[in-house]
Amino acid sequence: MNKTGRKLSAAGRRPKRELIIETTVELFRQAHDVRKVSIGDIAQAASVSPTTVYNQFGSRDALIGEAARSLILDTVAFARGVLKSDLPFARKLTGLISGKISRASQAPDEVVAKIISQDRDIAPFIEELFRREVKPLWIELLEEGKRQGYIDASVDPDAFTVYLDVLRAGYAALPELARDWKSNMDLIEQLTRLTFYGFLTKEIDLFGKKESA
């Protein structure tokens, strides 16, 4: 059994690349300072040589990027399971939010920061995944919310996806949120509330359409 608590016989049956990524995430979770976790530490815990790690990933930063991709794919799979379930709309929405926070809380801060900031190494991956899988899931949720009376029926899907793009770009432009996101949970909760409810409590005819009708 290695330092991560896995049986080596079981580890040996998995591809080395997958094993190294999983070991990296586990070591980061255990470390007080992930910056001190070296390629040598990861190699030893995964029962492979440092050369194997470098051959698979090239650098420590590239390995962190792969760990971030693994977390993103896991989160998308979780979201897909929630959205395809028979839960009512409100339960789906709260489940998505709590599940995302739970997964981020369990993940290494360095990995989460890479995801939230969408640095140049991982941004194309996130963009393609959003276009191919996440965006259709959000559209499904939008239409279900309309059917159940939680979302304004006049909300256009195209406007909705542009809104999502604006939000994503905004978070990516604020790397300070990513660096210390756990200490900013109050702010993140307020931003989440603004995302779904806006900041008005009463409807106002902003464009004067009702008066001219």
Q: Where do the domains of the chain lie?
A: 8-57, 68-197
The proportion of the chain whose per-residue pLDDT surpasses 90, expressed as a percent, equals 40
Task: Note the CATH architecture for domain 8-57.
Answer: Orthogonal Bundle (1.10)
pLDDT in the model for residue 118: 62
**131: burial class by Cβ within 10 Å (0-12, 13-18, 19+)?**
exposed
**Which among 22, 72, 75, 62 is positioned nearest to 45, based on CA atoms?**
22
- Altogether, the residues listed in the chain come to a count of 213
Whether residue 34 contacts residue 28, with contact meaning beta carbons closer than 8 Å, is answered with yes
Residues 6 or more apart whose Cβ sits within 8 Å of residue 74: 103
Low-confidence ranges of the chain (pLDDT < 70): 1-14, 32-34, 107-110, 112-119, 178-179, 211-213
> What is the rounded CA–CA span in Å between residue 109 and residue 33?
10
pTM: 0.72
pLDDT in the model for residue 47: 92
CB count, 10 Å around CB of 151? Answer: 17
- At position 72, the amino acid (one-letter code) is I
> What is the rounded CA–CA span in Å between residue 167 and residue 173?
10
Structure-token pair, residue 43: 């190699």
